[in-house]
A and B are shown apart, each in its own frame.
Chain A
Amino acid sequence: MDSAEKLRSVFKKRFPKLLARIENANYSEERFIEQRALASRSKDWPALLERWLDSLVLEPNTAYALTGFGDGSHIAALLDVLPKDSYVFCGEECVESFVSTAQERIVSSLLEDPRLFVGVGDLDADFFESLSRIPILELTNAQAIIFPPSIISRPNSIRPF
């Protein structure tokens, strides 16, 4: 199974309402390079991710909303330290960018993490559909967090969704 098929398979299982969006999006090497270039702008990306995590207070039983999928590395870093009973909803408006990065970096395993939910494309009902599967009754808090480097080229995308 190649990475595109794997991505479709994960979406079919976890985010079926968004499957058509990723199937209709074209892979763009330019988009992938754009996302990868973000990480290469830092002299030490892992250290930068650590500093970002240092600034966050991550609590149990909390849902976090995060803008921008970027290259996925900050989400992986976040999930590494996120309490097991907390969740992340990541929104990415640019489907092409999401698909290109997801295919190249084979982030399917990241998308299989049961604590991660995604919304891709236009901010409509389907974008937020996966939120309905977060066990809300177990939660005590909800917070928005941002990772500005993942949206540095799209400053207007910092807005509540």
Chain B
Amino acid sequence: MSSKVILDGETVTFEGPSPSTCGEVWTLLEDHLGQAGILIDRFLVDGVAWSPDSENNQVVYSIIEVFTVTFEQNVAHIVEALLKEGEELQEQWKLGASKSLSKPWSQFQPEAVRILNETQPLVQSIGLLAEYSKQNQKQWSNEISRLGEKINVVLSSLMDAIEAGDCVTFSDFAGSKLCATLAEVYKLLSIAVLPSLGELRADG
């Protein structure tokens, strides 16, 4: 069976025999592209989105279409996704700060844990952005690092309050310090971080 791999619209010519499984194609491309700071964005096997895992790596293919993004574009996608969910996350914390005062703690605690878990992607992304900005000497490097430390301190206090079942401290931190810190984070992402990545994306 003849098979074909198309990378960003161009057919790939392999040195030697073409890889026979999707897993092999992914590994080869990921290694090769990674050296140039390029990431796989979408990987379509016979028109269907595919990603590697231990069970499907041996899948054979007719046509694989691969679309890539630069690391910077990927960072920009992450920031855009964070900003898109920002308003909802801030609203959840604001509501949590109120609800923690009108429900018995045993009823509210699972909700507190859920909001905390939903904040983790933001926290992890701030860490990634801090590292990226330091390596690339971005102007907002110090600010994102400062905010990363600040949000971790506030979340740590919130975790202590959840463990202690302390609705007063929880509401205080959720309703004031965390909301204020989140507002700072989203402001920085929208007025400094995303525009700087946008320039990169426009430059290609």
Instruction: Give Cα A38 to B167, complex, Å.
Output: 11
Cβ B168 vs Cβ A55 within 8 A: no
Instruction: Give Cα A3 to B97, complex, Å.
Output: 36
Instruction: Give Cα A47 to B174, complex, Å.
Output: 12
Instruction: Give Cα A38 to B171, complex, Å.
Output: 13
Residues of A in contact (CB 8 Å), total 20
Identity of the chain A residue whose Cβ is nearest the Cβ of B99 in the assembled complex: A55
Cβ B168 vs Cβ A44 within 8 A: no
Task: Kindly identify which residue among B99, B104, B175 contacts A48, using a CB–CB cutoff of 8 Å.
Answer: B175
Identity of the chain B residue whose Cβ is nearest the Cβ of A145 in the assembled complex: B102
Known: A48-B175, A158-B104. A149 touches B98 (CB 8 A): no
B residues within 8 A CB of A149? Answer: 101, 167-168
Instruction: Give Cα A52 to B107, complex, Å.
Output: 16
Cβ B176 vs Cβ A55 within 8 A: no
A residues within 8 A CB of B132? Answer: none
Cβ B101 vs Cβ A152 within 8 A: no
23 pairs across A/B with beta carbons < 8 Å? A41-B168, A41-B169, A42-B168, A42-B171, A42-B172, A44-B172, A48-B101, A48-B168, A51-B98, A51-B101, A51-B171, A51-B175, A52-B98, A52-B102, A55-B101, A145-B102, A147-B101, A148-B100, A148-B101, A149-B167, A152-B166, A155-B104, A158-B104
Known: A42-B172, A55-B98. 14 other contacts (CB 8 A): A38-B168, A41-B168, A42-B168, A47-B176, A48-B172, A52-B98, A55-B101, A146-B102, A147-B101, A148-B104, A149-B167, A149-B168, A152-B166, A152-B167
Task: Enumerate chain A interface residues (CB-CB to B < 8 A).
Answer: 38, 41-44, 47-48, 51-52, 54-56, 145-149, 152, 155, 158
Sort A-B residue pairs by CB-CB distance and give the 10 closest, nearest first: A55-B98, A55-B102, A52-B101, A51-B98, A54-B98, A148-B167, A41-B168, A158-B104, A149-B168, A42-B168
